[in-house]
Structure 1
């Protein structure tokens, strides 16, 4: 075994400062997560309970196998927007009757579970994960449909939700809908397009148009039950496949449906036992500096997340600001690419491209650990071919067929974000630590560039750069720095679904293990020779 050593001095002042800063960020993160957990607040939660109904996460908990984890996805969706944090829907991956499934659950305490633009984006991301990893989808439905004031942002793209359900079914990926309350208007197509539908006596209401709309459109008088109640759909329309007497009974039906799916993983569980890392995961709190311009050794992170801290490094003496190598994580083989000193040079780019090709030859998933300021700039590096070498790395990432996992630990700036498999390059899962930042470049650099451009523009127009201009320039720089700093923070990016969640560094190994297990439900295959033209 090639066990990674550690040089981390947990008794040093630097370590203590880093740990304290990370814990402060985690406290702030927990406060934001609490907003999502609170749903619509005490008033609407109490009203929901008074009706004898379970909350969204309670429904999920009953659905899951006992003592199994639930990997919640995008919990901060809509953060920083005009809509509640969490986007009125809970999504994630959990185990039901031994089968890993994507689970979505409307939160009816938030405007009756109505869908806003972020609800839609979050649900579509969940479907994307289900499709890529061949995971059955269970929809726990209770929604009044679209949030009408924002219909202009929902109606046109919203059709993709129903498209996804039909495509999942066509691909042989099971879909199950359990209707706990309203599923009206366009939302009626969720149970209508699912393979299996469960409805609850005197609770489920599924219709394209409710009694008021029917009265307006046709003049017909009708009541909820005869128009779209569970008994009508079970006895008359045939939309309901299973008729439940209450919520626990509906969840029992859903579990029995999954038990009968005969849905199997494409790959067996790992045959190699998963050994715990030799170094304490608690120490992950003190590795990343608060000032991301200060480098850190990513091997210290790798040593605390891979099995047995066992890591075979690839090209350790070449392109040393990128660490590459082979390991196992919860028994699954992985290739790891981790930024060491931040900047990517030509050697690192070529090394990465070769390593990605090797992973594809062997059909081994890749894990990208981000801490990069991007590709190196300057006359020497431009003449040395940094563009074509950076393009080679990005080409390799873009055309790689093995599953990719990305974790943003520190900086993830510029084209380095792309080369390290950022969101636009379709990683199966992407998570961030509270210490991460991502933008086109660092706040100071971006503000400085704008300042230089403004000065050059003024000079070209013959305008003097006097004290007044200098004062205005300083104000502009400060404003831009603050804006970019805010927009590069992980909660801001997570709110826009640019990642699948901001996680505690200590949970990294567990989260990645859950993701790798889900990934292996679908065939893991590499691209052999299927890359574009590499400029040499």
Structure 2
């Protein structure tokens, strides 16, 4: 059916919600600007003065003109000692009509050296390439590992090279364009790629530079004879193509992708997808800043799905979870959206059945999070909330259709798991600036600690210090509040980006298109259990 909206855009509550979200978007934009700024004006100017392009400029030349680009994990390393963006750009872009995963080092940030968050971001991009069968294009200019943080990089960093070879073994092409240094471990990126382009008098690929060679062997060697592009094209054979400059190298990269003759193995979208009936701008006023205040997720769905059409499944049963069928940019989806936060037994059983139905029809699933978790209390425990919640989590865990999650409000406790949080391997996971995610809300967690401390004092026969209790509760509540914010979680790599709510439909369309590159893995181990 076509959804009807009851959103009052003239109400004070709507204006308050919108104002609060716009403030969060302004803070988000400020952090994105830091990522775009790379190493800062001084190092950007130095890079340009050397006649070199910035990573996003290279990407802009690589992708098809006026094609969509989905940048991922832009806030990686936010809240850490490392620069926002983690000195690498990752994105899904269209190259010669082929959706590709693009990974571009930012040499304006410590010469493109990799820190622990660079590694996390890069490995996540490679996971996305593997899961969705996206050709991988590396735009390399990196001095290798940041030696000051080598203890956090060396051991897990080996997975980077393993994953490159496994992509190739799975038939997913890997292409590397080398724009400058690709040193030490970084030398294995072109070494393990299917196709390699280097640039005369620019690219330098070696396991050890002249100083280390001198220290290790006593040999004197200049950079060009040791690892220059001409040497690798004419002597070692590491370079497959030799370009005169960056623009020509990028053109060669585009031609390599064109020569792949890549085709998607999934279903094509419906060509007649209709726009939603309601303005995406109104998404800014739906979610209250206080997530304890309920809101109807159907208002979000009506502004995201094709034609605002949502065929709801079991609308009268388990009303705290809305489930139903829709399409986004012509791609069919099954949607699970938390309506009133708490998941009861009925909602859990309804979700499990719906997920199994989606697997029967091979329909991707979209999870819209706003949950405080599964209901607790004597009556609910006796009524089987554990086993019913386990049904939902089991269904999510064993579902084989693509999952996409968007955190729009709260995402607490095991409800985060049941709604396909990061640990349950959704193909993509994004958050709105309004979202929060933690074991539980800060007030609840602080209250639990207070109750435990009171009980401990009573058992020991000690008087309880109320003033200290209040101080501790405030500190804990503030800590949990800070740690549950979307930019903090995005900085740690727990999502693929914090997005403007108005971009949700576009982001989902790009993700649904990307997942169709991979073959259908087939149904899971179960049929449909009537709950």
TM-score normalised by the chain length of structure 2: 0.99
Deviations 1:99-142 (A, max 9, x none): 00000000000000000000000000000000000000000000
RMSD: 1.2
Contact 1:182/1:204, CA 8 A, preserved across alignment: yes
Structure 2 residue 347 is matched with structure 1 residue 351: no
- 2: CA distance between counterparts of 1:529 and 1:299? 31
2:414 alignment counterpart: 415
- 2: CA distance between counterparts of 1:148 and 1:460? 52
1:38 alignment counterpart: 37
1:276 alignment counterpart: 275
Contact 1:389/1:535, CA 8 A, preserved across alignment: no
- 2: CA distance between counterparts of 1:238 and 1:319? 63
Instruction: Indicate which of 490, 493, 507 corresponds to 1:497.
Output: 493
SS at match of 1:373: strand
1:306 alignment counterpart: 305
2:477 alignment counterpart: 481
Contact 2:313/2:323, CA 8 A, preserved across alignment: yes
Contact 1:96/1:255, CA 8 A, preserved across alignment: yes
Contact 1:40/1:111, CA 8 A, preserved across alignment: yes
CA 1:508 to 1:166, structure 2 compared with 1: closer, same or farther past 3 Å? same
Deviation of the 1:267 alpha carbon: 2.4
Contact 1:338/1:368, CA 8 A, preserved across alignment: yes
- 1: CA distance between counterparts of 2:196 and 2:14? 54
CA 1:526 to 1:352, structure 2 compared with 1: closer, same or farther past 3 Å? farther
Unpaired runs of 5+ residues, structure 2, are: none
Deviations 1:68-117 (A, max 9, x none): 12100000000111100000000010000000000000000000000000
Deviation of the 1:462 alpha carbon: 1.3
2:510 alignment counterpart: 514
2:394 alignment counterpart: 395
Structure 2 residue 3 is matched with structure 1 residue 4: yes
1:140 alignment counterpart: 139
Deviation of the 1:186 alpha carbon: 0.5
Deviation of the 1:535 alpha carbon: 12
Deviation of the 1:460 alpha carbon: 1.3
1:150 alignment counterpart: 149
- 1: CA distance between counterparts of 2:220 and 2:428? 49
Contact 2:360/2:527, CA 8 A, preserved across alignment: no
Deviations 1:421-450 (A, max 9, x none): 000000000000000000000000000000
Aligned residue pairs: how many? 531
1:524 alignment counterpart: 520
Where do residues 443-482 of structure 1 align in structure 2 (5 Å cutoff)? 443-465=442-464, 469-482=465-478
- 2: CA distance between counterparts of 1:418 and 1:319? 18
SS at match of 2:148: helix
Contact 2:77/2:86, CA 8 A, preserved across alignment: yes
- 2: CA distance between counterparts of 1:144 and 1:528? 44
SS at match of 2:198: strand
1:163 alignment counterpart: 162
Deviation of the 1:458 alpha carbon: 1.1
Contact 1:362/1:526, CA 8 A, preserved across alignment: no
SS at match of 2:274: coil
1:295 alignment counterpart: 294
SS at match of 1:194: coil
1:208 alignment counterpart: 207
Deviation of the 1:459 alpha carbon: 1.2
Where do residues 249-268 of structure 1 align in structure 2 (5 Å cutoff)? 249-268=248-267
Deviation of the 1:530 alpha carbon: 3.7
Contact 2:353/2:530, CA 8 A, preserved across alignment: no
- 1: CA distance between counterparts of 2:276 and 2:359? 26
Contact 1:359/1:526, CA 8 A, preserved across alignment: no
Structure 2 residue 223 is matched with structure 1 residue 224: yes
Deviation of the 1:231 alpha carbon: 0.2
- 1: CA distance between counterparts of 2:90 and 2:326? 30
SS at match of 2:74: coil
CA 1:126 to 1:221, structure 2 compared with 1: closer, same or farther past 3 Å? same
Deviation of the 1:525 alpha carbon: 4.1
Contact 2:398/2:524, CA 8 A, preserved across alignment: no
Where do residues 431-450 of structure 1 align in structure 2 (5 Å cutoff)? 431-450=430-449
2:109 alignment counterpart: 110
1:189 alignment counterpart: 188
Unpaired runs of 5+ residues, structure 1, are: none
- 1: CA distance between counterparts of 2:306 and 2:42? 47
Deviation of the 1:187 alpha carbon: 0.3
- 2: CA distance between counterparts of 1:524 and 1:101? 19
SS at match of 1:190: helix
Contact 2:398/2:525, CA 8 A, preserved across alignment: no
Deviation of the 1:343 alpha carbon: 0.3
